[in-house]
Amino acid sequence: MQIRTLLASAATVAVLAGCASGGGQTQSAPEETAGASSATTTYEGTLPCRSCDGIDLTVNLAGTESSPAPERTFTLEANYLNHPQDPEPEAYDGQWEVMTGTAVDPQATVYELTPDGEGQIYYFQKIDDSTLELIDPQRRRFENGEMLRLTRQ
């Protein structure tokens, strides 16, 4: 099962049902080296899942917003909690870009994560220095977006 399917399901569940358990978001903070463009920041959280207890998601962003594009890379790992099919963890890597503006906030910072090879592009809005929120490709927040948040490690 691909993470894009589960993330889409999670987002749909969050928007339509608003019924994921509010407890248990795992949160992380960044590993940054002062002044280095190769700094890595880690974000973690547990997203809702329609057919399991949640998706533990870890996103590592290498580089900074001001780093040259080739130095901005990411890894994304997804582990499914108590899924009936017991899928293997999924991992993606690629490049990330910094975008400005969402459907309702022209000043918002959005990170666009584009996997190498196959895979869906992911969009995360920077809520604050410690929080990213998964948003849709039109850069709109989901109704229950607080359930789709990752926190800096």
| CATH code matching the domain that covers 3-152, chosen among 3.40.50.300, 2.40.128.300, 2.40.110.10, 1.10.357.10 | 2.40.128.300
CA 67 – CA 38 distance, rounded (Å): 8
Q: What is the pTM of this model?
A: 0.77
End-to-end CA distance of the chain: 27
Banded model confidence at residue 38, pLDDT cuts 50, 70, 90:
low
pLDDT surpassing 90 at residue 4: no
- H/E segment holding residue 7: helix 3-12
The domains of the chain are located at 3-152
CA 21 – CA 54 distance, rounded (Å): 9
pLDDT tens digit string along 71-124?
A: 999 999 999 999 999 999 999 999 999 999 999 999 999 999 999 998 899 999
- H/E segment holding residue 24: none
Quote the tokens at residue 62. 């290498």
